[in-house]
């Protein structure tokens, strides 16, 4: 080797220099979070039976996590921009693992929900950092493909989640679905330490907008709290109205305040870009339909159809596996055609699948359900890839963490809104139709107090038969309860389908152009700052 020759480069060194090493490094962390979501959905019935949880408490297993995410996401994105995505990612992974272990050790619902909130906070730190790392390391012409592969990782974990979760719940109990995060988290930290480059903040000179953080945190907490309490306390109750009023007033104060600081928590000029604004709305609408509509699928499959947790996971496999297989294709389409075509087509497909699910009954065949799940999974992968690229790919690089947090916040708030609103639709439908189904089955109609006490069990696909009732009476009560459950689920899925189809119309107004460099609009000034300052 002559003096002027470059030293030989090892394969490991070349891998660390490649932008794809970033995707490898964050893969297990992302898959851990995705795995947690689908595993918990399958474990909900077992958690309810083990800890004697009501429907409202089981919803809080989901809502507690969403609450932690929603309150901290935007702040976490700003922390990633300010202090570096590598550091934020590692802290998020370690905290997520430790809180998962604490959840598995919980002896009651209050403890479990509290640690789920803490898990959500660490998840909020982790998720924007992963997107920020991708945005910072991949060139613009490969960003769509990166998002596609990123989506396939989520899809693979989502696909495996119900099956792994079903096996774990059936063999080891519901606690195991949280303990599984420990080995996955260890691998995540090891890969990140090996493959991620030095910690490099993209906006190191920014000041932390403390008043903005306080205002947004209070507004988000009040909004999510009001939404999750509404189905139990009632939409007209002082708790619900007071929480939503606080969210509205403090949220308005936050928007007014954000016009003042030199370094606002959320640069409102981001939303002047049509693709960012529409992508945010579409993400929220997709989450409303997905989380709100699919919350009751596990109860339908296990309660009404009598499937085991493992069988439930296998039934959900067509949807989750399709998401993983379609995401890379969506990424390639995105790089060639922009965000609008895959997003619009995806919404139409998902809406069709949701409509098919709104026609389910107690004897629907497995092939029909599988086709509906395939359409939903394929559609959602297209929407998530397209909407995510529209938001993050069009944001300036120095705001990549905040843009990712906005996308994630829209997803989580949409999920919370969907579960609350469609959960309320389910409850109201059951209260309205259950007496009629009792009468049609030759049973005495339940009194109002009795009906209220039965509603939670029926909404979980179960039934409450009188103590000491005959086998014939138990069968009649079970059939009437399942019919009322199906009425509510039909309505919930119908609303979800309609929202998906309406969102497809909105997607047509996205700009067809592909993400480019560090700009969010044609007139953006040098340095990547938003062209429009609100």
Sign of CA dihedral 192, 198, 204, 208: positive
- pLDDT reported for residue 523: 35
Tell whether the model's pLDDT for residue 348 goes beyond 80: yes
Domain ranges of the chain: 14-209+261-431+485-507
**Given pLDDT bands bounded at 50, 70 and 90, which one contains residue 158?**
low
Q: What is the pLDDT of residues 179-206, one digit of tens each?
A: 888 998 899 899 888 888 777 776 666 6
Would you state the structure tokens that stand for residue 58, as one six-digit string?
């089981």
Max distance between CA atoms of the chain, in angstroms, equals 96
Q: Do residues 116 and 178 make contact, with C-beta atoms less than 8 angstroms apart?
A: no
Tell whether the model's pLDDT for residue 144 goes beyond 90: no
Among candidate residues 316, 308, 10, 23, the one with its CA nearest the CA of residue 170 = 308
Among candidate residues 433, 452, 451, the one with its CA nearest the CA of residue 441 = 433
Q: Do residues 442 and 475 make contact, with C-beta atoms less than 8 angstroms apart?
A: no
CA distance 408 to 392: 11
Q: What is the pLDDT of residues 284-302, one digit of tens each?
A: 888 888 777 766 787 888 8
- pLDDT reported for residue 324: 67
**Given pLDDT bands bounded at 50, 70 and 90, which one contains residue 1?**
very low
- Residue ranges of the alpha helices (H) in 358-399? 366-392
Among 77-86, 324-333, 433-442, the range with the most confident prediction by mean pLDDT is: 433-442
- pLDDT reported for residue 442: 85
- The terminus-to-terminus CA distance of the chain in angstroms comes to 59
Would you state the structure tokens that stand for residue 147, as one six-digit string?
């998002």
- pLDDT reported for residue 316: 75
Tell whether the model's pLDDT for residue 21 goes beyond 50: yes
Q: What is the pLDDT of residues 496-530, one digit of tens each?
A: 899 999 999 988 887 754 444 444 333 333 333 33
Tell whether the model's pLDDT for residue 436 goes beyond 80: yes
- DSSP assignment string, 257-289: HTTS-SS-SS-GGGGGSHHHHHHHHHHHHHHHH
CA distance 196 to 133: 9
CA distance 118 to 7: 47
> Tokens 């297989």, residue?
325
Tell whether the model's pLDDT for residue 391 goes beyond 90: no
Chain centroid to CA 10: 39
Would you state the structure tokens that stand for residue 43, as one six-digit string?
């474990």
Name the more confident of 335 and 85: 85
Strand, coil or helix: 185 = helix
Distances (CA, A) of 277 to 128, 143, 217, 274, 450: 18, 19, 21, 5, 47
Distances (CA, A) of 75 to 154, 170, 260: 24, 39, 18
Q: What percent of the chain has pLDDT over 90?
A: 10
Radius of gyration of the chain (CA): 24
Among 54-58, 65-69, 232-236, the range with the most confident prediction by mean pLDDT is: 65-69
Q: Do residues 212 and 255 make contact, with C-beta atoms less than 8 angstroms apart?
A: no
> Tokens 């420990």, residue?
182
CA distance 210 to 343: 36
- pLDDT reported for residue 29: 84
- pLDDT reported for residue 96: 94
> Tokens 């851990």, residue?
32
Which residues lie below 8 Å from residue 74, measured CB to CB, with a gap of 6+? 216, 220, 265, 266, 402, 405, 406, 409
The 3-class SS string of 1-35 reads: CCCCCCCCCCHHHHHHHCHHHHHHHHHHHHHHHHH
Residue 517 gets the label, from left (phi > 0), alpha (psi -120 to 50) or beta, of: left
Strand, coil or helix: 418 = helix
pTM of the model: 0.71
Tell whether the model's pLDDT for residue 362 goes beyond 90: no
Instruction: Report which DSSP code applies to 338.
Output: -
**Given pLDDT bands bounded at 50, 70 and 90, which one contains residue 270?**
confident
CATH fold of the domain at 14-209+261-431+485-507 = Growth Hormone; Chain: A; (1.20.1250)
Distances (CA, A) of 345 to 313, 375, 528: 27, 11, 31
CA distance 288 to 276: 19
**Given pLDDT bands bounded at 50, 70 and 90, which one contains residue 151?**
low
- Round the average pLDDT of the chain to a whole number and report it: 79
- pLDDT reported for residue 13: 57
- pLDDT reported for residue 14: 58
- pLDDT reported for residue 122: 92
CA distance 461 to 44: 12
Among candidate residues 16, 20, 77, 74, the one with its CA nearest the CA of residue 201 = 77
- Over residues 78-106, the mean pLDDT reads 88
**Given pLDDT bands bounded at 50, 70 and 90, which one contains residue 333?**
confident
Among candidate residues 361, 392, 374, 379, the one with its CA nearest the CA of residue 320 = 374
- pLDDT reported for residue 528: 35
- pLDDT reported for residue 94: 94
CA distance 173 to 161: 15
Q: Do residues 146 and 137 make contact, with C-beta atoms less than 8 angstroms apart?
A: no
**Given pLDDT bands bounded at 50, 70 and 90, which one contains residue 4?**
very low
CA distance 32 to 183: 10
């Amino acid at each position: 080797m002559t003096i002027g020759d470059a030293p030989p480069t090892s394969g490991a060194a070349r891998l660390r220099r490649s932008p794809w090493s970033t995707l490898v490094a964050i893969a297990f962390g992302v898959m851990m979070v995705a795995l947690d979501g689908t595993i918990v959905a399958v474990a909900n019935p077992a958690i309810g039976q083990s800890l004697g949880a009501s429907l409202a408490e089981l919803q809080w297993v989901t809502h507690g996590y969403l609450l932690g995410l929603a309150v901290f996401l935007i702040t976490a994105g700003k922390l990633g921009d300010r202090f570096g995505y590598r550091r934020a990612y590692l802290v998020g992974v370690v905290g997520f693992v430790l809180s998962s272990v604490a959840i598995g050790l919980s002896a009651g619902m209050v403890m479990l929900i509290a640690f789920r909130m803490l898990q959500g906070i660490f998840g909020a730190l982790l998720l924007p950092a992963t997107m920020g790392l991708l945005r910072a390391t991949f060139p613009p012409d490969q960003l769509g493909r990166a998002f596609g592969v990123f989506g396939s990782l989520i899809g693979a974990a989502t696909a495996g989640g119900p099956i792994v979760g079903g096996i774990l719940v059936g063999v080891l109990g519901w606690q195991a679905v949280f303990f599984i995060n420990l080995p996955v988290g260890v691998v995540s930290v090891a890969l990140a330490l090996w493959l991620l480059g030095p910690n490099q903040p993209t906006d190191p000179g920014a000041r932390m907008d403390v008043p903005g953080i306080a205002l947004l945190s209070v507004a988000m907490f009040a909004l999510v709290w009001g939404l999750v309490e509404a189905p139990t306390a009632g939409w007209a109750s002082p708790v619900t109205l007071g929480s939503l009023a606080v969210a509205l007033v403090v949220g308005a104060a936050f928007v007014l305040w954000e016009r003042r600081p030199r370094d606002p928590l959320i640069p409102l000029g981001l939303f002047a870009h049509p693709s960012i604004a529409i992508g945010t709305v579409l993400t929220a609408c997709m989450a409303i339909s997905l989380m709100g509509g699919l919350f009751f699928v596990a109860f339908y499959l296990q309660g009404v159809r009598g499937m085991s947790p493992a069988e439930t996971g296998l039934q959900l496999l067509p949807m989750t596996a399709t998401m993983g297989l379609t995401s890379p294709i969506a990424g390639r389409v995105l790089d060639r055609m922009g965000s609008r075509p895959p997003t619009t087509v995806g919404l139409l497909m998902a809406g069709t699948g949701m409509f098919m699910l709104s026609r389910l009954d107690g004897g629907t065949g497995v092939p029909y359900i599988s086709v509906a799940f395939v359409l939903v999974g394929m559609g959602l992968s297209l929407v998530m890839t397209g909407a995510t690229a529209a938001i993050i790919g069009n944001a300036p690089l120095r705001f990549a963490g905040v843009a990712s947090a906005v996308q994630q916040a829209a997803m989580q708030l949409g999920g919370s809104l969907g579960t609350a609103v469609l959960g309320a639709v389910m409850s109201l439908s059951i209260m309205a139709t259950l007496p009629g189904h009792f009468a049609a089955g030759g049973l005495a109609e339940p009194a109002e107090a009795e009906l209220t006490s039965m509603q939670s069990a029926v909404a979980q696909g179960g039934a409450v038969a009188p103590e000491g009732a005959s086998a014939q009476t138990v069968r009649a009560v079970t059939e009437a309860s399942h019919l009322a459950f199906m009425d509510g689920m039909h309505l919930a899925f119908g609303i979800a389908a309609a929202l998906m189809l309406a969102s497809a119309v909105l997607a047509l107004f996205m700009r067809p152009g592909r993400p480019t460099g560090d700009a969010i609009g044609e007139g953006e000034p040098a340095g990547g700052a938003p062209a429009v300052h609100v």
